Chain A
């Protein structure tokens, strides 16, 4: 009887270990995916700076254009 129980416990232990390992790997993959997603979140300061610089360039260009038209 005892060897049967031992075998059963060993089998349960192996199944539990495999299941835990599979779950751990699955979570690790999900964390990696989320980490990549967060890393690719755009920087608001850089994007606002870019928009501001573009607007400034347009305004300066408009001033240059206007000054060219003055005889």
Chain B
């Protein structure tokens, strides 16, 4: 009987731990979403500024060309973020065994941050590092 009670307590603790991990990932994904919204704002600001200085078609084309890598990097990050949240949704339905898939999905988003920052540097915009909450998901093995 004691064993049954201990199993019950242990089971509820495990479930709580899984929920806590999902909550942490959910917070990190929310912070990442806000960061990506910021990227859109700075990229649009840089585009508007560059276009305003254009007086002819070649200049407009050059701005369009310069912003293309930023656009691709942003859209890739957006899709990675959506994939991460879908993985979170699966994890909360399926349980702890799919937790590792969450980290894979989160890592994909984090790995895309550097190319995104590099593409923005190319148009003169400095993107800050991802917030510590997002990077802390990977411990010392942060991408």
Q: A residues bordering B, Cβ < 8 Å?
A: 2, 5, 9, 12-13, 16, 19-20, 23-24, 27-28, 30-31, 34-35, 37-39, 41-45, 47-48, 51-52, 55-56, 59
Contact = CB atoms under 8 A, between A and B. Distances in A.
A39 B60 CA distance: 29
A28 B91 CA distance: 10
Interface in B39-58: 39-40, 43-44, 47-48, 51-52, 54-57
Interface of B: 1, 4-5, 8-9, 11-12, 15-16, 19, 22-23, 26, 29-30, 33, 36-37, 39-40, 43-44, 47-48, 51-52, 54-57, 60, 63-64, 67, 70-71, 74-75, 78, 81-82, 85-86, 88-89, 92
Nearest to B55: A59
B75 A55 contact: no
A48 B30 contact: no
Contact of B26 (A20, A23, A31, A39): A31
A16 B16 CA distance: 10
A65 to B, nearest CB: 14
Contacts of A35: 82, 85-86, 89
B60 A59 contact: yes
A51 B44 contact: yes
A67 to B, nearest CB: 15
Interface of B is mostly: helix
Contacts of A56: 57, 60
A34 B19 contact: no
Contact of A16 (B12, B40, B75): B12
Contacts of B8: 9, 12-13, 16
Contacts of A16: 8, 11-12, 15
Given A23-B19, A27-B19, A48 B67 contact: yes
